[in-house]
Structure 1
Amino acid sequence: MDNVVDIVTALAAPIVEGHQFELVDVEFVREGKSWYLRLYIDKPGGITIDECALVSDELSEKLDSIDPDPIPQAYFLEVSSPGAERPLKKESDYQRALNHYVHVSLYQKVSGEKAFEGFLRAVDTDELALEVNLKGRIKTLTIPRKNVAKARLAIKF
């Protein structure tokens, strides 16, 4: 269903950017018997429910006007904030997350683990430097970007 994501991203980006918001992510997923088209939007200081409703209304109108329908099956449209544990997908997300607490899941183990939480201290096109607490010791791990399955902001308790 990547085609749906591509189509919706192309339609949603001008709407979202027209309101000076950021389009964080678009996903089209099946959960049980239902399909969900989810857009995550944000802006400095956070996004409001009214702003989510505004984008939802404008995108819904745009999708309804297209013939043939780019999404033939029934689905639920959800527009929301990415939340406090916002995913890191784009380069600008990683740059904004520098010196913040993050969670990183890996494809292959590093130091015997496939997931880490710590402070993102450096990032470039090839690797991340993550300051973590390993068994009571603070260490800086260098993680190849190609080994990062998912990364997101995290809340430190």
Structure 2
Amino acid sequence: MSKVTQIVEDLLKPILDEMNLELVDIEYKKEGSNWFLRIFIDNETGNIDIDDCGAVSERLSQRLDELDPIPNAYFLEVSSPGAERPLRKESDFKKAVGKHVHITTKEAIAGATVFEGELTSFADGVLTVKEAKQTHQIPLEQIESARMAIVF
């Protein structure tokens, strides 16, 4: 985690706690000549609306203006993680059990690095993903990236 994202997370935590919201992810990155600070939030029901995003943006923006911890100009964006939300923390994986996921691993497991299917369990740091014809055991430390996946 970069210094900027850690500072932002520290400022954001009390705001989100007070609003009963959850931090899903923070991105701070340069795109072209512009810097973007993106905050992804959610709640227990998964129904984040524009009012939630606006309130978080306003309160966070005030704190960032007061402290001015980011050295360069940036665009602040606050939004929901969307239907294909990233899975990063153990709690994310626990909530995703029974749902369709897309997993990319650091190294091949059973000859593959990409798995998409139902996350049937998550226990002792191991995900069980059931694809059409196979079931795979994927250790958490082997995951490069993970997200919810939409089934068409």
Using the size of structure 2 for normalisation, the TM-score is 0.95
Deviant stretches of 4+, over 2 Å: none
Please, what TM-score do these two structures have when normalized by structure 1? 0.92
- Over the residues paired in the alignment, what is the CA RMSD in angstroms? 1.1
- What's 1:81 paired with? 80
> CA–CA distance in 2 between the matches of 1:108 and 1:98?
23
Gapped regions of structure 1 (runs ≥ 5)? none
In the alignment, what sits opposite 2:12?
A: 12
Q: Unaligned stretches of 5+ in structure 2?
A: none
Q: Which residue number in structure 2 is paired with residue 21 of structure 1?
A: 21
SS at structure 1 position matched to 2:134: strand
Deviation at 1:109, TM superposition (A): 1.2
Q: 1:143 aligns with which of 129, 138, 147?
A: 138
What is the identity, as a one-letter code, of the residue corresponding to 2:54?
A
Name the CA distance, whole Å, in 2 between partners of 1:45 and 1:110. 32
Structure 2 counterparts to residues 38-53 of structure 1, below 5 A: 38-43=38-43, 44-53=45-54
Deviations 1:75-120 (A, max 9, x none): 0000000000111111111111001000001111122221110000
Q: Size of the alignment, in residue pairs?
A: 151
Distance 2:46 2:64 in 1: 29
Alpha carbons 1:17, 1:23 under 8 Å: kept: no
Q: Give the Cα–Cα distance (whole angstroms) in 2 for the partners of residues 128 and 95 of structure 1.
A: 9
